[in-house]
Structure 1
Amino acid sequence: MTAPAYNTVAWFQVCTDNPGAARGFYGGLFGWEFTESDTGYELISHPGAEAPSGGMVRVPDAGKNSATFLVVVQDVAAACARAEQLGGKILVPPTTAPSGLVFADLLDPSGNHFGIYSPPPSP
């Protein structure tokens, strides 16, 4: 499997207060398949995919429902700094997950929420 090119949309996340309804809707509309993990985060794949391309997480109420795209970047901190220079806002500063994946959540100047990440270092 090849890694996605930097600065491209490489992941998406659905946040929903009703995962069953979301599975039914997106599964019925696009044929997406859902695989639960030990953490409660569900991985989303499309038929024939080599690997998942998105995830779904339960949120406490409908006011938090959203769908967000994530762009893979080489350097999350540098991308955050550039986003601020261009009028964006940082919602969640660069954060490193236990796996080594680094991510941040941002707003563009129009108020659209999106995420950026860099994958964990290769073993």
Structure 2
Amino acid sequence: MTTPAPGTLGWFEVATSDPDGAQKFYGSLFDWTFDGSSVATGDLDYRNIKASGADAPMGGIFGTGGQVPDHAVFYILVADVAATCADAEQLGGSVVSRHLDTAPGAPTFAYLRDPSGNQFGIFAPPAA
């Protein structure tokens, strides 16, 4: 499998208070499979999504526990999260939140808004 180039769509996430229902819906609709995983920082309900026949996950379902509104977001792969945040602000966008000090082995990421107010995510893979 090749690593996607910076600037490409690298991941998507469905955040929901009903992860079982979302898994059933998307699994039945698109023939996706899921694996549950626990993050080192606690008992996070995060389920990687794999398309039928794919060799790697392409997104995830995040069980919010009702702590944030249900939403879906796409993530663009970037080489440098901090630099991309600065560039976005210079171009009229805004930074919603930055997560640059993540757990070892986890990607750095940020949530941005474009000048029209649309939210999206960016991420850089963890250092090798």
State the TM-score, normalized to the length of structure 1: 0.91
In structure 1, give the amino acid aligned to 2:101: T
In structure 1, the partner of 2:101 is: 96
Deviations 1:42-84 (CA, angstroms, capped at 9, x unpaired): 1111011111011111123396111100000011111000100
Ranges in structure 1 where 5+ consecutive residues have no aligned partner = none
> Do residues 71 (structure 1) and 61 (structure 2) align?
no
**Distance in 2 between residues matched to 1:63 and 1:22, nearest whole Å:** 16
Aligned mates of 2:90, 2:47 — CA distance in 1: 34
Q: Secondary structure at the match of 1:41?
A: strand
- Identify the residue that residue 112 of structure 1 maps to in structure 2: 118
4+ aligned runs moved over 2 Å, structure 1: 60-63
**What secondary structure is seen at the aligned counterpart in 1 of 2:55?**
coil
Number of the residue aligned with 1:12: 12
> Which amino acid counterpart does residue 6 of structure 1 have in structure 2?
P
TM-score (normalised: structure 2): 0.88
Task: Give the CA deviation at 1:96.
Answer: 3.0
Shift of 1:100: 4.9
1:61 corresponds to 2:66:
yes
Report deviation, 1:17: 0.7
Q: 1:58 and 1:94, CA in 2 relative to 1: closer, same or farther beyond 3 A?
A: closer
- Give the root-mean-square deviation of aligned CA atoms: 1.6
8 Å CA contact 1:73–1:117 kept in 2: the answer is yes
CA distance in 1, matches of 2:112, 2:60: 18
CA distance in 2 between counterparts of 1:96 and 1:32 reads 31
